[in-house]
Amino acid sequence: MTHKNYGHLGQIAVTKFERGKGYGNKLMEHALEYFKTKGIKRVGLYVETKNQIAISLYEKYGFEKQFESWHYWIEEEFCKQIEETSEKVEKSELKILTFTDYNTIIEVFPEINKEELETHLNNTQNPGLTGGESIPLGLFVNNKLQIYGRLNPEFSGCRPFFFTDPKYIDDFISGTVKFKKKNYIRLTFDRNSKLANFFQERGYKLWHHMWVMEKVGIKE
């Protein structure tokens, strides 16, 4: 995927029966050549922290670890529990965002990938991993943005997921009920081990624990 000057490598894979034959190198060379033809200078990717073989491959091509990322799967029983028992924060409202909210989002969450954000806000029908629309959602409390996440109802998941305080997360999850098309929700977030611990204590399922890696500068 390309977002202006930023490229994202979704995933590459080689069946276990064909590994060790150099296909991983060919896939990486093809991907980087593709990004080069698009004028991309910076490429990012996600990789499981335990997948040292893949990490070594990416490092061979100049990718460096930037920060950790977590992907939690919140089952239907937890979603229902949140809907039934959590107390709504006073004056909280979940809204669909547009490009007019761009400056607000980056002011509250300056670490967000701005190239990706701009693409997603300009194209709210941007397909996710399983196709379908991708909806930029923001939870506002007293008219101040507290959570931003791009929800794909078919997935049903949300990334990137940024928040200012865990106390607002239940309101966000409850608000997604009218959008999501599955009996669960997945939340992917970066850099925040405190939120990972918070979810772990609640008993949510850790689906992926990843490194975000990045390569800056692609040789002409």
Looking at residue 22, what is its pLDDT?
92
CB 149 within 8 Å of CB 176: no
What confidence tens digit (pLDDT) does each residue in 99-155 have? Answer: 999 999 999 999 998 888 888 888 755 444 445 578 899 999 999 999 999 988 887
What confidence tens digit (pLDDT) does each residue in 57-91 have? Answer: 999 999 999 999 999 999 888 888 887 777 778 88
pTM: 0.80
Domains of the chain as residue ranges with CATH: 2-68+210-216 (3.40.630.30), 70-208 (3.40.630.30)
What confidence tens digit (pLDDT) does each residue in 162-189 have? Answer: 999 988 999 998 888 888 888 888 999 9
Residue type, 76: E
With a cut of 70, say whether residue 220 has pLDDT above it.
Answer: no
Q: Quick one: which of 53, 67, 75 has its CA closest to 206?
A: 75
With a cut of 60, say whether residue 3 has pLDDT above it.
Answer: yes
Residue type, 62: G
With a cut of 70, say whether residue 214 has pLDDT above it.
Answer: yes
Residues with Cβ within 8 Å of residue 23, at least 6 apart in sequence: 14
